Structure 1
Amino acid sequence: MLAPTTFFHDKVVLVTGSSDGIGRAAVVMFASAGARVTVTGRSAEKLAITKQQCIAAGAKEEQILEIGGDVTDKNFIERLVNETVGKFGRLDVLVNNAGAKTFDFSGKKGIEIPIDNFDSTMDLNVRSVILISQLAIPHLEKTKGAIVNVSSIVAFPFVIAQPYYPLSKSCLDQLTVQMAGTLIRKGIRVNSVNPGAIRTNFSHAAGMAEETAKKFYDSLDESLPSGKCGTPEDIAKIIFFLTDRTQSEIIIGQRIAADGGTVLFNQGLSAGV
């Protein structure tokens, strides 16, 4: 249970990729705390569900801005920030949650996977974060706001068959550090949360069949040190904490691994423990 807070009352929060999963859980949590929120994603149907969940959590309809679109589109990113500030008059929190692993079906592995897969992965997981953050900074400076980048534990040293996703998340972690170091002088705090296995629609959205995705997560439950995958709400609580200045003002430029012990366990194996 989070400590009671009124910090987010009337604050303005923009969460990318908030039509499902971690983004949805986060934006609903902010809405329940009295924040005015922008929900955004590519699926109008899923955005409508997110909006209804925000209302069910206590938000009024006028406290929610719903904008559908693709964050890899620079024009859409400009619209997203401009309409958020235009409607609510300010911006206090930016959560860069939109991201994905694009499965490649060329039959290639590792660095032999076609460069187009690299380009699309970096566009979504890194370039879009830079673009929206650049646009948000002037507004966050006015409010002494916060940015949380949603990364992944694959940013840590893991070797997997499709390397461009972990490469993009390692890049995002370095971006978090660079942003934090420069933006704290403007009063803006930047951190990242690096989830491990979380039961979301992520694998299904990336091309895995729904039943296959379920079996995948079930098998992970058994293999994780904690004995279970995390939930979107688990990560939302960390995002909520990192953006509440009254709770986490001293935390700047950090990567918070939220993985049920996965990294610790794998490091132990590597060390022969």
Structure 2
Amino acid sequence: MSIKYDFTGKVALITGSSSGIGAGIAELFAKSGANVVVTGRNADRVAKVAKQCTDLSPKQLTALEVVGDVNREVDCNCLIDTTVQTYGKIDILVNNVGIDHFADPNSADYYQLFLSVMQTNLNSVVYLTHKCVPYLAKTRGNVINISSNASKVTINGYSPHCMSKAAVDMFTKCMAAELGPKHHIRVNSVNTDRLSSKQYWPGQPEDIAQTVAFLASDTAAGFLTGSIVVADGGHLAANVSL
């Protein structure tokens, strides 16, 4: 049974929310009364999830649609500016967007694949968090980074992905330590697994969304910051291959 959260009056910005885990997070925030910002690179997908969020909203609040690529600073700036212009604030930032590529260290394109993965999985998280600090400080808001069990184990062929997620987890801890005392901003990370796995507990986007909502709730998790929360259906504990 899902726990019900109340985010009435809160503004939640979720990157990569036009599908998958990001869409599940956006929908749960909408269902919980928040003003939701849906963003991604595909306008049709963004519009579809935004409509679902609006339909799920108890007060039929219209979800904000912003099409853009988090790999572009100009798009990130537009995303933040549009959110603030529309709602006047940001309470919750969920850095969800992420990619992985098979990358053989002996392949000619290994370094380019490394740069691509790091740009999406790490650099965009750092940049968006940095740019949102002034707004999150005003609301005493919080940041949730969607990471991976790949931050803790090696996966042959996916070293850039593993490195990027390990860096995201350390970034989470660093920001919690720096932004908490100075700005009363909480920062946490959720480590998950590929949700398509059929072993142990096969997960759904809503499972991760529930963990994110818990961390975003000042009532439920107001004393949690700098935490790396594993939500993977037991795969890491059972040493199941990612």
Instruction: Give TM class, smaller chain.
Output: over 0.9
| Residue 266 (structure 1) aligns with | 239
Where in structure 2 are the equivalents of 1:155-234 lying within 5 Å? Answer: 155-185=151-181, 186-199=183-196, 220-221=197-198, 224=199, 226=200, 228-234=201-207
Sort the Cα spacing of 1:246 and 1:2 in 2 relative to 1 into closer, same or farther, 3 A: farther
Q: d(CA) in 2 for partners of 1:70 and 1:159? A: 27
Q: Computing the radius of gyration over CA atoms, which structure comes out larger, 1 or 2?
A: 1
SS in 1 for 2:145: strand
CA distance in 1, matches of 2:58, 2:77: 25
The one-letter amino acid of 2:216's match is T
Residue 58 (structure 1) shift: 2.3
SS in 2 for 1:256: strand
> CA contact under 8 A between 1:35 and 1:63: conserved in structure 2?
no
Q: Whole-Å Cα distance in 1 between the matches of residues 59 and 99 of structure 2?
A: 31
Listed as ranges, the gaps of 5+ residues in structure 2 are none
1:240 alignment counterpart: 213
The residue aligned with 1:118 is: 114
Aligned to 1:53: 52
> How many angstroms does 1:157 deviate by?
2.0
Size of the aligned set, in residue pairs, is: 239
Between stretches 188-197 and 112-121, larger displacement belongs to 112-121
In structure 1, what residue type is equivalent to 2:85? G
- Relative to the length of structure 1, the TM-score reads 0.83
Look up the match of 2:9. Answer: 10
Structure 1 residues 35, 260: closer, same or farther in 2, change over 3 A? same
Q: Residues 237, 254 of structure 1: CA spacing in aligned structure 2 closer, same or farther, 3 A cutoff?
A: same
Q: 1:149 aligns with which of 137, 145, 156?
A: 145
Displacement of 1:42 in angstroms is: 0.6
Contact 2:4 2:32 in 1 (8 A): no
The correspondence for 2:226, drawn from 224, 245, 253, is: 253
Q: TM-score, normalised by structure 2?
A: 0.93
Q: Distance in 2 between matches of 1:3 and 1:262?
A: 23
Q: Which has the higher helix share?
A: 1
Unpaired runs of 5+ in structure 1?
200-219
The aligned counterpart of 1:212 is none
CA RMSD of aligned residues (A): 1.8
> How far is the alpha carbon of 1:257 from its aligned partner?
1.1
Q: Separation in 1 of the partners of 2:141 and 2:88?
A: 14
Shift of 1:259: 1.4
2:125 to 119, 122, 129: 129
Shift of 1:233: 0.5
CA distance in 1, matches of 2:132, 2:44: 27
Displacement, 1:139? 0.4
Distance 1:59 1:120, change over 3 A: farther
Shift of 1:114: 1.9
